């Protein structure tokens, strides 16, 4: 551990120096080289020549052969409120036709995928690829599990609430999660004023008697920490949201082995537009009730997206198994995240106005080495005299999500780090240029 801390102190010094020069670097025309570094040293990648600070402004529909100039970007509003995983577009562009799918007009017309499966709308090939990928990555036990597919893990979360809530209870079952919790949990749980379940807020302060559902998001959205249940009562049912338990974000310590585990393609491969998630569920009856909810809510899940997701997972697994490391999705995303976090930490140090969570290195069985978590979101704290972090960053044309939506104070914000390169680099550059004068200016104008 001490060795790592030493290394990271040296790194921090280096990164402070890099960050100071960042705004100059960004003004240079930067090459559109692949960010995948293979086994090369990270130090080389971050060299000040900037050849690996690759910027792609390409949309999802076309390639960009030249990097954009960041001149004139001072006025641009940078929206990092949502966790839109467009960072992955470049990887899939580099894969070319490998992940292309062709669907003839006559395919997948029926509502049904497999009437012998309790989850009758689950495409068998997708189920196969889910099991295969979990085995390769080693992040979840799939044996003796029912797989339930959903229109994103958002629909699956609601299916879980429906499945676990007693149908004949006088009172709705309590739903809790330790703060800071995923900002959408309260709104989704309470939007229909259901008589089956009710949001009861921060699990840490939950004192009510009786049955409850505790949501354990690990690594946590928004702060990235690995989590366990905070309540350990006999009447509790645990639901594990493992959307970010992938080796680009956090070390894979062992295969997760919980009663109900939720995953989503969005944060695994970057295909948010597919709206595909899956649940691994031990109890058959719970799985059946989840299927019932999805039947009532949307009569199943898009087959086109399931077929495409199968193909995407297939390519990811094939490339993990091959020796061509530069085609590994997880290696690509690991290195992008590593660079982003290092630049962000350096920028934060330079400004002196913010702080970020610190993570201890952990051993990742998939990568075969130690590393620190590098979450999909930065959980940024604004230091005094900044009062409202979201408002202050908005004043600096950076849109983020306020800590108040996550059950904590306005001194925190959640910032997506999954956006395209140009947006992230512009954001880090802007953050590093914020001074105490900007804080006083903001306080004056409020």
Q: Does 146 bind a second copy (CB under 8 A)?
A: no
| Smallest distance from a second copy to CB 69, Å | 23
- b/e string for 400-416 if b means 16 or more Cβ within 10 A? bbbbebbbbebbbbbbb
Q: Which of 16, 25, 136, 188 binds a second copy (CB under 8 A)?
A: 188
Is residue 385 reached through a cis peptide bond, with omega within 30 degrees of 0 on the bond before it?
yes
Q: Which of 105, 144, 232, 368 binds a second copy (CB under 8 A)?
A: 105
Cβ distance to a second copy smaller for residue 33 or 60:
60
Q: Does 303 bind a second copy (CB under 8 A)?
A: yes
Q: Which of 203, 256, 301, 313 binds a second copy (CB under 8 A)?
A: 301
Contact between 127 and 135 under an 8 Å Cβ cutoff? The reply is: no
Q: Which of 12, 23, 93, 396 binds a second copy (CB under 8 A)?
A: 93
Q: Does 89 bind a second copy (CB under 8 A)?
A: yes
Q: Which of 14, 20, 95, 231 binds a second copy (CB under 8 A)?
A: 95
Q: Does 124 bind a second copy (CB under 8 A)?
A: no
Number of residues that bind a second copy (CB under 8 A): 66
96: three-class secondary structure by DSSP? helix
Query: Is residue 365 exposed (0-12), middle (13-18) or buried (19+ Cβ within 10 Å)?
Result: middle
Q: Does 300 bind a second copy (CB under 8 A)?
A: yes
The count of C-alpha atoms lying within 13 angstroms of the C-alpha of 314, restricted to the half-sphere facing its C-beta, is 14
Q: Which of 24, 112, 363, 440 binds a second copy (CB under 8 A)?
A: 112
Q: Calculate the CA 9 to chain-centre distance.
A: 27
Of the ranges 4-12, 42-50, 191-199, 361-369, which one interacts with a second copy (CB under 8 A)?
191-199
Q: Which of 102, 209, 232, 446 binds a second copy (CB under 8 A)?
A: 102
For 216, residues 6+ apart whose C-beta sits below 8 A from its C-beta are: 177, 227, 228, 229, 238, 239, 240, 241, 258
Taking the C-alpha atoms of residue 180 and residue 407, their distance in angstroms, rounded to an integer, is: 5
Of the ranges 100-108, 201-209, 334-342, 343-351, which one interacts with a second copy (CB under 8 A)?
100-108
Question: Tokens in use for 320?
Answer: 């993990």
| Smallest distance from a second copy to CB 440, Å | 33
| Smallest distance from a second copy to CB 270, Å | 5
Q: Does 13 bind a second copy (CB under 8 A)?
A: no
Q: Which of 64, 142, 154, 355 binds a second copy (CB under 8 A)?
A: 154
Of the ranges 4-12, 140-148, 193-201, 354-362, which one interacts with a second copy (CB under 8 A)?
193-201
Q: 407: alpha, beta or left, given left = phi > 0 and alpha = psi -120 to 50? A: left
Tell me whether strands 401-402 and 398-399 are parallel, antiparallel or unpaired. Answer: unpaired
Footprint of a second copy on residues 270-299 (CB under 8 A)? 270-276, 293, 296-299
Of the ranges 35-43, 45-53, 133-141, 147-155, which one interacts with a second copy (CB under 8 A)?
147-155
Q: Does 72 bind a second copy (CB under 8 A)?
A: no
Q: Does 181 bind a second copy (CB under 8 A)?
A: no
Q: Which of 2, 39, 106, 446 binds a second copy (CB under 8 A)?
A: 106
Question: What are the contacts of 71-75 at 24+ separation with CB within 8 A?
Answer: 71/27, 73/426, 75/397
Taking the C-alpha atoms of residue 197 and residue 293, their distance in angstroms, rounded to an integer, is: 14
Q: Does 312 bind a second copy (CB under 8 A)?
A: yes
261: three-class secondary structure by DSSP? strand
Tell me whether strands 369-371 and 276-281 are parallel, antiparallel or unpaired. Answer: unpaired
For 115, residues 6+ apart whose C-beta sits below 8 A from its C-beta are: none
By rule CB under 8 A, what string of x and - marks binding of each residue 231-270 to a second copy? -----------------------------------x---x
Cβ distance to a second copy smaller for residue 196 or 226:
196
Taking the C-alpha atoms of residue 279 and residue 36, their distance in angstroms, rounded to an integer, is: 30
Contact between 334 and 248 under an 8 Å Cβ cutoff? The reply is: yes
Taking the C-alpha atoms of residue 433 and residue 259, their distance in angstroms, rounded to an integer, is: 47
- Give the H/E segment covering residue 155: helix 152-164
Cβ distance to a second copy smaller for residue 69 or 79:
79
Site residues, a second copy (CB under 8 A):
60-61, 82, 84-86, 88-89, 92-93, 95, 97-113, 151-152, 154-155, 158, 162, 184, 187-188, 191-196, 266, 270-276, 293, 296-305, 308, 311-312, 315
């Amino acid at each position: 551990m001490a060795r790592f801390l030493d290394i990271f102190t040296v790194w921090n010094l280096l990164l402070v120096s890099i960050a100071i020069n960042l705004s100059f670097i960004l003004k240079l025309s930067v090459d559109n080289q692949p960010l995948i570094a293979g086994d090369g040293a990270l130090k080389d990648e971050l060299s000040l020549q900037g050849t690996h600070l690759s910027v792609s402004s390409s949309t999802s529909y076309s390639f960009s052969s030249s990097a954009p100039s960041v001149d004139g970007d001072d006025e641009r509003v940078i929206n990092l409120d949502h966790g839109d995983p467009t960072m992955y577009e470049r990887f899939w562009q580099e894969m070319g036709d490998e992940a292309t799918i062709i669907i003839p007009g006559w395919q997948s017309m029926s509502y049904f995928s497999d009437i012998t499966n309790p989850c009758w709308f689950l495409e068998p090939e997708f189920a196969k690829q889910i099991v295969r990928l979990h085995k390769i990555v080693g992040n979840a036990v799939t044996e003796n599990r029912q797989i339930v597919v959903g229109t994103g893990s958002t629909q699956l979360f609601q299916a879980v609430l429906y499945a676990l809530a007693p149908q004949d209870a006088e009172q709705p079952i309590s739903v809790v999660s330790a703060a800071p919790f995923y900002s959408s949990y309260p709104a989704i749980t309470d939007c229909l004023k259901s008589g089956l379940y009710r949001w009861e807020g921060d699990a840490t302060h939950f004192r009510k008697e009786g049955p409850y559902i505790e949501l354990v998001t690990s690594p946590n959205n928004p702060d990235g920490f690995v989590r366990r249940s905070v309540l350990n009562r006999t009447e509790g049912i645990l639901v594990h949201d493992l959307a970010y338990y992938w080796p680009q974000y956090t070390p894979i310590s062992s295969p997760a082995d919980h009663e109900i585990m939720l995953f989503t393609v969005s944060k695994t491969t970057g295909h948010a537009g597919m709206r595909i998630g899956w649940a691994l569920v031990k109890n058959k009856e719970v799985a059946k009730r989840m299927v019932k909810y999805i039947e009532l809510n949307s009569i199943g899940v898009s087959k086109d997206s399931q077929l495409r997701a199968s193909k995407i997972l297939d390519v990811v697994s094939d490339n993990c198994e091959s020796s061509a490391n530069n085609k590994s999705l997880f290696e690509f995303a690991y290195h992008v995240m590593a660079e982003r976090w290092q630049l962000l930490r350096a920028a934060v140090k330079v400004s002196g106005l913010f702080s970020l969570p610190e993570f201890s290195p952990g051993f990742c069985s998939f990568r075969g080495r130690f590393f620190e978590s590098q979450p999909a979101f930065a959980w940024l704290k604004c230091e005094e005299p900044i009062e409202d972090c979201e408002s202050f960053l908005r004043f600096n044309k950076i849109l983020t999500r306020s800590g108040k939506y996550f059950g904590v104070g306005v001194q925190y914000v959640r910032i997506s780090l999954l956006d395209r390169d140009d947006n992230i680099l512009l954001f880090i550059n802007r953050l590093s240029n914020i001074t105490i004068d900007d804080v006083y200016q903001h306080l004056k104008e409020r």
